[in-house]
Structure 1
Amino acid sequence: MPATPVPRTPDTPDTPGKRLLIVVPPLSGHLLPARALALAWAARGHLVSWVGPEAALRPLLGPDAEVHPTGARLFREQAAGGAAAVRSLWEGFVVPHTRFTLGAVRRAVARWRPDVVLVDQHSPAGALAAHAAGVPWASFAPSSLEIGDPLGGDGELTGWRDGVLRGLWERAGLPAAEYADPRFSPGLVVAPSSAALLGLEPSAVPAEYALVGPLLADRPDVPFPWDALAPDRRRVLVTMGTLSAEVAGDFLGRTAAALAELPDVQAVVAAPGEVALPPGAIGRAHVPVLELLERGAVDAVLCHGGMNTVGESLVHGRPLVLAPIRHDQPVTAGRLAALGAAVHVDFATASPERLRAALRAVLDRPGFRSAAELLGRQLREGGGAVAAAERLERFACAPR
């Protein structure tokens, strides 16, 4: 179905409804769940606008969205895994992105006068601008990298990152005595996850956390040959994420070799480049992941462990094979394997034989499906985009 446009808002301070400004990186894994929240927010009679590059936001938000443009720039390629990937995420993307966008975010806050700012944890400019203007801000955590202790107690890496965050605060001209970690609003942290996925006991979830499960909404149409799906074969969706295309070629080749030895399985592969496909496979640069899951068109998912794909697979009860590459993906893969809903394989070294065995396991052993369905029910209990909008509304309306 076509994307539902996020409503345009008049540029007047006395318009009814609470005004929400969303500051999020121009990456689909961050934009799509934020867009679902924005639609639920607008459905409650409130107003929404965005800060970001037009070229990245318009295709997902539609022509009528209110966008405060930042311009666009290229960022350095990130390292493939481990501590180097975390450092390169901050040094190569988060820090330069914050510095590049901070002026535009400040102008948007001054001009649009929001009642609340929703700040992606990897767009600290939103927190810096909101704090400077005295505007309440809520955090948005679309990945688990900044929730709990995904760095595994790495004190050196954690200390380094804390120094980076304090540097951004000071560079923004904010008083050192007022320092607050710009990843975490003291009043509200919205995460499309669950306690189980974050490795937390329900009683240990902080009161300001809103663990609402995946934020889902209709997506722009993606052409797909639905009549090419084989009704007599089980199907596996293979997708390694848009930002992993430059490193996924060899892995996809090993996956194709594994699938070639599974004649009863049809693969649907999101492959942006030239990749050899097994017989009968459907390969497209872009595939309608959510629609495939909603239609029950796939029986299992092989992916890199990004939270969007993981959450969408689980709420539809589909087990996974996870080949994490970087950031929070290894943590997510480890947790899901421990919870029995996934098989964790090594992205760099998994052989076709290992990948074939992993796919056979999640397809043939019902326990993986049962565990995925249980986690899916727990995620759905979070309430999704509607619950996120309700919690954000209460935060925006709270007396201060």
Structure 2
Amino acid sequence: MVINFAAGPAQLPKEVLVEVQKQLVDYKGHGLSVMEMSHRGVLYNAIHESAIKKLRELLCIPDNYKVLFMQGGGTGLFAAVCMNLLGRTGAADYIVTGSWSEKAAKEATKYGIVNLVIPKAEKFQQIPSEDVWKLDPNASYLYYCDNETVDGVEFGFMPKSLNDVPLVCDMSSNFLSRKVDVSKYGLIFAGAQKNVGPAGVTIVIVRDDLIGHAMKITPSVFDFAVLAKNNSLYNTPPCFGIYVIDCVLDWIKKHGGIDGMAKNADIKSQLIYKVIDESNGFYNCPVVTDARSRMNLPFRIGSIKGDDDLENKFLKGAEVEGMIQLKGHRSVGGIRASLYNAITIAETERLADYMIEFCKNNQAKA
């Protein structure tokens, strides 16, 4: 099989895929697939509750938080967050450190006043010091993206808000890859398709006191109060996706829990960054060291601006070696290796070895 370094939908653990395949037609001897189950039936309800329970255990989610399964992806939550929370004061703080937080801030302007905490950057390569942030003490919430999938920028700290302004975080691309103190957040959301399952499910963890403030225009399927009251079963949820999430959560627990995922993430990312930093400029990572992502590692070949011929040669050679989806996002170009939880250390070592060999064979051409 290939090694899928895609930014999402991403590689899933092989043993999870095998288990899902085994149960696909006949789930645990019940004679039907999860895809055919009634979302209000006993069989599916057990899967639904199991996934919620495991998320609570892995993240130590306090009792005063609801776990919701929603649809619409992270992009849908850009709007849902606003419609549920922005009406509290009419304004919100946004820390824009990459393409996804930039899109979230743009979406928020449809629903209220957006205060950009840091000046607009020409390129997203770092996280400015909190000393220069301009926070609104009356904001409905302070929003940030913990890991920018496109730009490879990841927070190494948790932002501090003013006056207990609730912290809202998009953790789509580093969810369950390191410990998080959920009690310090008002809301966390994550698209499943990076670290925890297939596309189609968005996990939302929201504090009870932030539920019930939705704008009148909020569609029922985006209203946290409606979803919470109905345990995410107001309408038909993405049942099969939630089932796969439940399986992935089992896999995470089996492989050391979040501590195990965090340890592997550090090892894997350092393997690649070491090759980049020791390549004498053949490989270049545009992100400053203290903001480098452990999940999405962008780099250029030949120079900081990249050499198209060398990068295309690198990508073609990688595919021959069974390593796919390494092309950088269309907005920034270059190469990007996404090292989500399901990517193993051995698979990362294969990429590192290929990068070293490619550098040796093409150094003179750069």
What is the TM-score when the length of structure 1 is the normalising length?
0.31
Structure with bigger RCO (C-alpha 8 Å, 6+ apart): 2
